[in-house]
Structure 1
Amino acid sequence: MENPLFRPLELPSGVILKNRIAKSAMSDSLGDGTGHPTKAQNRLYRRWAEGGVGVSIIGEVQAQPGYAEKPGNLVLDDNADLNRFRALARQGAAKGSNLWLQLGHAGALAFAPTSTPKGPSALDLPGLKCAALTDDEIRKIPARFARTAKLAEQAGFGGVQIHAAHGFLLNQFLSPLFNRRRDDYGGSIANRMRLLLETIGAVRAAVGHGFVVAVKLNATDQLEGGLSEDDALAVVTALDQTKIDLIDISGVTYFPGAKAASDGAGGGPYFMNFAKRARKVTTKPLMLTGGFKTRAQAEQALNSGVIDIVGLARALVIEPALPHIWQRDDYHDPVFPRFDHAPAGGITAWYTMRLTALAGRMKMPEFDDLDQVLAAYEARDADRARIWLRHFDI
């Protein structure tokens, strides 16, 4: 019987993915501090392409430098050296893989040392303080995303993913916890999704039909007063009427004190129940990201007919050639590290520094020394922040 993971998938734009395994967007922090790709990043994405993924998505590519999530993010605007992005696009598309850019704007969660965080509304909460975007700043956002998408197309990338999840700007507009506006962009979910829909429309109009436009959406923020599943389902219903190619379902928010995706999720994929609800209101291809640890889980999710593509992140950090491994009769599943007494941010730092190791820039970090790994991760951010501030004159 044919393994469902290795059936091709044709998207509405006509693009065909060679299989149903996606390397989900992660903040790899491998940019050079000026917003440009590095040779290490090129090697990393070629490694995933040669490992057999149908598509890789580069996380948090910024349309402007003032609201980056980290100083290792890429910035693709009219000041960027497009040839350096072209080199990355070629490497990440090896062996018939696709490579997409995730269009990001951290908003209220922008990296404070290089930004003045701004969100839908001014907030002064424990762990989060930000100003409100002006009406003029909001109106410019769809065009900025669209320009970056057009530049991505010119550089040879196969598509973009509009990031409306994980607590970043477009997710902040969807969330009544972050969005307390009383104008056309606040209040009802119809108003709170307005900026997302305007951004999708602008991006789709800027690129050719054969260029993929996907959206990443939270099933829930898992924050009291945040985006609810019912409101997220209303967004999916609206997305069904747009010209996007794919909805990537994920969840949670990178906010101090927010629950992790795994909290209360049990075994297996984290947001499958929401995906079942979403399947009833959209015919768009659905991708599910989070919680897949075994081939059997991935196969079961695809065989259910609920989703069309499996999004893997940490599994592909552990085993970058996992698609090839899962295609064998004598396959094995990735063995995930177990961390005892991890400091805050330590596990994320470990996976991020392992990405650096996979790219050939350092030895693999030890499982049992998260304090040292976290210190190296934070020191690198500090170094790149200094470069960022000088380069962008912020």
Structure 2
Amino acid sequence: MTVSEETGAGVLGRPLALPCGLVLKNRIIKSAMSDSLGDGQGNATPAQARLYERWAEGGVALSLIGEVQADPRYPEKPGNLVLGPDTDRAALRNLALKGQVNTAHLWPQLGHAGALSYAPISAPKGPSALDLDGLHCVGFSVEDIEALPAQYARAAKIAVEAGFKGVQIHAGHGFLLSQFLSPLFNHRTDCYGGEIGNRFRLIGMIIDAVRQAVGARVAVGIKMNATDQLEGGLTQEDALEVVRLLDQTSVDLIEVSGGTYFPGAPSSSDSTSGTGPYFLEFCKTARKATKIPLCVTGGFKTRMQAVAALTSGDVDAVGIARGLVVMPDLAAHWVAGNGPDPSFPRFSQTVPGGVTAWYSMRLTAISEDREDHFDLDLSEALQVYDARDQARCHLWNARFQSS
């Protein structure tokens, strides 16, 4: 589709009204990443606040804070935030304040790593017990499951009290709620397993509990997979049924992505096909299944790709992650129609975990306003990243070992 620059500017800069009544000032969303900038004890830091302030100053309508935990026993990494009774509320309020300058929104992404919980600081637990190559976990009891909605609701309430305008429920990328949706992880034979309506049941309960906790005027979003990209995982047919079920809830924004962090699984963001953006065909069908605003995330490398996706009418917003890491003020340039597209790094060879580590350490550089001097290669980035996690594991265990 050919779209003029004038039309493109109008599409990207158009406000998006959410069902709850809140309005996003444009159609560019900073999708969640695990920023690993918590203090190792579940609290926000000045560096983390500066990171989201940078994106807000750079023109995004909404940023999402990845992997914010309601339960410290099942984190994704020791740099995660935890929203609980002993959270440093002053640090959290500062994060909300700084990340919402320039009329931006900042929402914590409420998650639970489940079977993918970080083993050095967790005892992984998922929908079902699994003993697979590289992945071992025990299964949730019914009592464990029934306690989850209240945990998410408490975390959401803490977020709103700190000044955040919304929350996102993380049901994608192979973490706990994604695991419940996936027959690869979920082998249950009770009312939380089997057909897709049962596998969705817990998510529906959590949405209801969160909405009751935060009220009608706070945004409640959700992130879901179009596909797990794993044999035996969530199919696109079942994912479309998830969209239909979400349409019957009070959700304000559905973000569509895909893939998992299952050991050895392919990552959409590391794809070498170069064909992105991803998941647009899924959204074209999903658009017919819901009236809730749709955001698609994955593979956007140029402004005109974003413009074409929005002009199609199949999605209402585009989610950008790595593009905003290499170019923090991308949103302002794309809305204005000036400046270059982001220039992504090219790595001659990769090491396992190296690309993720490189982007994570560049986030740290942005938070310290020194990204122009960031020159780590993959191996160096991975070494620093792993050392930081190792140091934080000691802090996390000391803080939460009795939780």
In structure 1, the residue matched to 2:3 is none
Paired amino acid for 2:314? V
Q: Structure 1 residue 366 and structure 2 residue 375: aligned?
A: yes
Instruction: String of CA shifts for 1:302-355, please: whole Å, max 9, x gaps.
Output: 000000011000000000001112234432100000112210110000000000
Percent identity over the alignment is 58
For the Cα contact (< 8 Å) 1:221–1:251, is it kept in 2? yes
Could you tell me how far apart the structure 2 residues matched to 1:283 and 1:358 are? 37
Paired amino acid for 2:16? L
Paired amino acid for 2:19? P
Could you tell me how far apart the structure 2 residues matched to 1:258 and 1:171 are? 15
Could you tell me how far apart the structure 2 residues matched to 1:66 and 1:184 are? 25
In structure 2, the residue matched to 1:115 is 122
| Between 86-95 and 251-260, the greater mean CA deviation after superposition | 251-260
Instruction: String of CA shifts for 1:111-170, please: whole Å, max 9, x gaps.
Output: 000000000000000010001111111110011001100111111001000000000000
After TM superposition, list the pairs within 5 Å mapping 1:194-209 onto structure 2.
194-209=201-216
In structure 2, the residue matched to 1:81 is 88
Instruction: String of CA shifts for 1:2-49, please: whole Å, max 9, x gaps.
Output: 520100010000001110000000000000011000000011110100
Could you tell me how far apart the structure 2 residues matched to 1:365 and 1:256 are? 29
Could you tell me how far apart the structure 1 residues matched to 2:279 and 2:347 are? 24
In structure 2, the residue matched to 1:61 is 68
For the Cα contact (< 8 Å) 2:32–2:321, is it kept in 1? yes
| Between 70-79 and 262-271, the greater mean CA deviation after superposition | 262-271
In structure 2, the residue matched to 1:330 is 338
For the Cα contact (< 8 Å) 2:153–2:206, is it kept in 1? yes
- The alignment partner of 1:56 has SS state of strand
Residue 247 (structure 1) shift = 0.3
Find 2:222's aligned residue among 204, 207, 215. 215
Residue 265 (structure 1) shift = 6.0
Could you tell me how far apart the structure 2 residues matched to 1:273 and 1:304 are? 11
Could you tell me how far apart the structure 2 residues matched to 1:244 and 1:95 are? 25
In structure 2, the residue matched to 1:319 is 327
For the Cα contact (< 8 Å) 2:70–2:155, is it kept in 1? yes
Residue 266 (structure 1) shift = 4.9
Q: Residue 34 and residue 341 in structure 1: after superposition, are their counterparts in 2 closer, same or farther (change >3 A)?
A: same
For the Cα contact (< 8 Å) 1:40–1:361, is it kept in 2? no
Could you tell me how far apart the structure 2 residues matched to 1:362 and 1:375 are? 19
Find 1:291's aligned residue among 292, 299, 308. 299
Aligned CA-pair RMSD: 1.3
In structure 2, the residue matched to 1:98 is 105
For the Cα contact (< 8 Å) 1:145–1:203, is it kept in 2? yes
In structure 2, the residue matched to 1:344 is 352
For the Cα contact (< 8 Å) 2:126–2:138, is it kept in 1? yes
Could you tell me how far apart the structure 1 residues matched to 2:167 and 2:135 are? 29
Paired amino acid for 1:215? I
Residue 365 (structure 1) shift = 4.1
- State the 4+ residue runs in structure 1 displaced beyond 6 angstroms: none
For the Cα contact (< 8 Å) 1:20–1:309, is it kept in 2? yes
In structure 1, the residue matched to 2:24 is 17
- The alignment partner of 1:58 has SS state of strand
In structure 2, the residue matched to 1:146 is 153
Q: Could you tell me the TM-score, scaled by structure 2's length?
A: 0.95
Residue 366 (structure 1) shift = 2.9
Q: Could you tell me the TM-score, scaled by structure 1's length?
A: 0.97
- The alignment partner of 1:280 has SS state of helix
Paired amino acid for 1:333? D
- The alignment partner of 1:142 has SS state of helix
Could you tell me how far apart the structure 2 residues matched to 1:78 and 1:328 are? 43
Q: Structure 1 residue 182 and structure 2 residue 189: aligned?
A: yes
After TM superposition, list the pairs within 5 Å mapping 1:129-278 onto structure 2.
129-261=136-268, 263=271, 266-278=274-286
